[in-house]
């Protein structure tokens, strides 16, 4: 049990992740797989994350739809991502169960549910990007942008410029919108979208087709972005490899860990 690694008296910071509410969006499962594989690995960053955060992951919200090969709906023909407001245990059992768990955690004073991320795939956009909510409180609105900005620095395929914040009526009843209204003002709810097709690195480079491995890498980068968000960087074990310069700083080490193939400056081209 991941809870056991945290001191019992500590307030537990929880990151709740769901995927595959839309059965046709297979990339969301690979992204989620990347997150899970990384979090349970022996990677020094994963160890720090496990010591400081609790990750709750429901990797497949629509298993019957996936089994049937549906594109968007459940066995009973519901788009589950429009039923968060009032899911029925009979008609939307997975959604009902997950929502009950989230509400239970929200009502537990020892738990601080800080992130909810629902993973989808997008059929027309390129890259990975996020949808967030719109708040009246400008400061909260700005704080919400922090995680996607950090993710943009860590993942070459993630685009902050494609990330948007909305409150369209058509998105009412989605996990992000519903939980964004329910949870308190230190919680952030996002939809993480990733292209079915490809990502663009900027400059003259043409689109790079996504592979299963690239989707999983995005998942790994999502997980490790929590290290930056919670400023846990200094706790990561130093790599044993010799470094060329005597003066070593944390950002350099992080870049080492992030296995970036491209220098940070290239991120600017995609609008970090
Ligand atoms: Zn979707």
CATH topology of domain 10-270: Aminopeptidase (3.40.630)
* 48-70 pLDDT tens trace: 999 999 999 999 999 999 999 99
Distance 24 CA to ligand 1 centre (A): 8
d(C-alpha 113, C-alpha 236), whole Å: 24
Per the residue annotation, which of 114, 138, 193, 259 is the catalytic one? 193
pLDDT of the residue at 264:
37
**Ligand 1: centre distance to CA 226 (Å):** 23
Measure 70 CA to ligand 1 centroid, in angstroms: 12
- E strands within 20-110? 54-58
Query: Which secondary-structure segment (H or E) carries 199?
Result: strand 198-199
Residue range 191-200, pLDDT digits in tens:
999 999 999 9
Mark whether 193 is an active-site residue. Answer: yes
- Predicted confidence at residue 22, as pLDDT, reads 98
Cα separation, 204 vs 182, in Å, equals 44
Domain residue ranges of the chain, discontinuous segments joined by +: 10-270
pLDDT per position as a tens digit, 142-192: 899 999 999 999 999 999 999 998 877 778 889 888 888 888 788 899 999
pLDDT in tens, 157-166: 999 999 998 8
- Ligand 1 being an ion, which residues bring their Cβ within 5 A of it? 22, 25, 120
Taking the centre of ligand 1 as the mean of its atom positions, its distance from the CA of residue 186, in whole angstroms, is: 25
Check whether 238 has a pLDDT greater than 80: no
Work out the widest C-alpha separation in the chain, in whole angstroms.
63
Radius of gyration (C-alpha) of the chain in whole angstroms: 19
CA distance 95 to 92: 6
Tell me: the pLDDT tens digits for 6-40? Answer: 555 568 999 999 999 999 999 999 999 999 999 99
Q: Mean pLDDT score of the chain, rounded to an integer?
A: 86
* Per-residue pLDDT at 262 exceeds 80: no
Q: Ligand 1 mean position to 264 CA, how many Å?
A: 30
């Amino acid at each position: 049990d991941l809870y056991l690694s945290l001191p019992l008296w500590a307030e537990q910071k929880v990151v709740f992740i769901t995927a595959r509410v839309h059965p046709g969006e297979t990339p969301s499962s690979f992204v989620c797989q990347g997150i899970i594989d990384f979090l349970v690995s022996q990677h020094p960053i994963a160890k720090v994350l496990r010591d400081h955060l609790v990750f709750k992951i429901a990797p497949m919200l629509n298993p019957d739809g996936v089994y049937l090969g549906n594109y968007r709906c459940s066995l009973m023909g519901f788009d589950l991502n429009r039923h968060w407001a009032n899911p029925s245990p009979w008609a939307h059992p997975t959604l009902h169960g997950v929502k009950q768990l989230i509400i239970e955690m929200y009502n537990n004073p020892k738990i601080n549910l800080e992130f909810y991320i629902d993973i989808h795939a997008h059929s027309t956009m390129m890259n990975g990007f996020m949808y967030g909510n719109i708040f009246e409180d400008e400061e909260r609105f700005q704080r919400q942008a922090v995680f996607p900005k950090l993710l943009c620095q860590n993942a070459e395929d993630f685009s902050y410029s494609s990330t948007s914040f909305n409150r369209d009526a058509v998105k009412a009843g989605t996990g992000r919108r519903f939980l964004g209204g329910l949870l308190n003002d230190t919680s952030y709810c996002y939809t993480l979208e990733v292209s079915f097709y490809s990502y663009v690195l900027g400059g003259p480079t043409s689109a790079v087709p996504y592979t299963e491995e690239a989707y999983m890498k995005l998942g790994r980068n999502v997980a490790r972005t929590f290290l930056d968000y919670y400023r846990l960087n200094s706790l990561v074990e130093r790599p044993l490899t010799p470094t060329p310069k005597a003066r070593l700083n944390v950002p350099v080490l992080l870049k080492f860990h992030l296995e970036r193939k491209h220098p940070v400056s290239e991120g600017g081209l995609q609008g970090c």
